[in-house]
């Protein structure tokens, strides 16, 4: 399931990021696990697919006490338009247009082979067949996505994509051990 490790995050950095709900990332993760899903850009086929999947599984993800939140590279206005059709307008989301939070979580910029490969092309065709088409990019199209279980400023579980088309097991990630 990707990389599993525990690592502490900079509390000052977590306090700098504020969601559209008003909470900082530090406040959100205090005392409660948060499944933090980092997206590439709002036009990404795989991000659209991931958000739809997370939306369908939200009640299961949150039934164990884990809260769902997102990090994106766009503006809040674009984020609201993006998340609303998925029923996720109320989920906390953090804008990170400079990618500093992505870097802090070890999410690097993709190399060409990470998005232009047979596996990703095949997965893209399958995603298209399921209605997850490419849209206009907003943000750094080369930034890799990821998903993390964070509690009290500490990464408890991590999935850092090796390919842009990777699909994390969000339910397994959301379960605190």
C-alpha 147/C-alpha 161 separation (Å) is 9
pLDDT at position 137, please?
63
Nearest Cα to 154, choosing from 12, 15, 29?
29
Measure the CA–CA gap between 48 and 42, rounded to whole angstroms: 7
Report pLDDT digits (tens) over 78-89: 999 999 999 999
pLDDT at residue number 165: 76
User: Are 161 and 146 within 8 A, CB to CB?
Assistant: yes
Region 7-174: CATH code: 3.40.30.10
Query: How far is 24 from 86, CA to CA, in rounded Å?
Result: 23
DSSP string, the chain: ------EE--HHHHHH-B-TTS-BHHHHHTTS-EEEEEPS-TT-HHHHHHHHHHHHHHHHHHHTTPEEEEEESS-HHHHHHHHGGGT-TTS-EEE-TT-HHHHHTT--BPPHHHHSSHHHHHHHHHHHHTT-------S-TTB--EEEEEETTEEEEEEE-SSTT----HHHHH---
The first and second tokens of residue 40, run together, are: 């590439």
8 A C-beta contact, residue 175 and residue 132 = no
Contact (CB, 8 A) for 142 and 110? yes
Per-residue pLDDT of the chain (177 residues; tens, 9 = 90+): 344 444 889 999 999 999 999 999 999 999 999 999 999 888 878 788 899 999 999 999 999 899 999 999 999 999 999 999 999 999 999 999 999 999 999 998 776 555 666 766 666 666 556 665 565 566 677 788 999 999 999 999 999 988 877 889 999 999 865
pLDDT at position 131: 62
Distance, CA of 121 to CA of 110 (rounded, Å): 15
Q: What does pTM read for this prediction? A: 0.83
CA proximity to 132, closest of 63, 86, 84, 71: 86
């Amino acid at each position: 399931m990707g990389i599993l490790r525990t690592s502490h995050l900079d509390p000052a950095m977590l306090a700098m990021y504020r969601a559209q709900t008003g909470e900082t990332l530090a406040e959100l993760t205090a005392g409660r696990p948060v499944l933090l899903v980092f997206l590439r850009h709002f036009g990404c086929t795989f991000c659209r697919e991931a958000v739809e999947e997370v939306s369908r599984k939200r009640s299961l993800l949150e039934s164990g006490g884990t809260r769902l939140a997102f990090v994106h590279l766009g503006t809040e206005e674009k984020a609201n338009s993006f998340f609303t059709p998925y029923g996720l307008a109320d989920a906390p989301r953090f804008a990170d247009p400079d990618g500093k939070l992505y870097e802090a979580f070890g999410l690097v910029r993709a190399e060409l082979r990470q998005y232009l490969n047979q596996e990703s092309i095949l997965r893209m065709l399958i995603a298209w067949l399921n209605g997850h088409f490419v849209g206009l990019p907003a943000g750094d199209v080369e930034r890799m996505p990821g998903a993390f279980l964070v509690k009290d400023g500490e990464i408890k579980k991590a999935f850092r994509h090796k390919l842009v088309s990777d699909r994390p097991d969000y339910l397994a990630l959301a379960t605190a051990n």
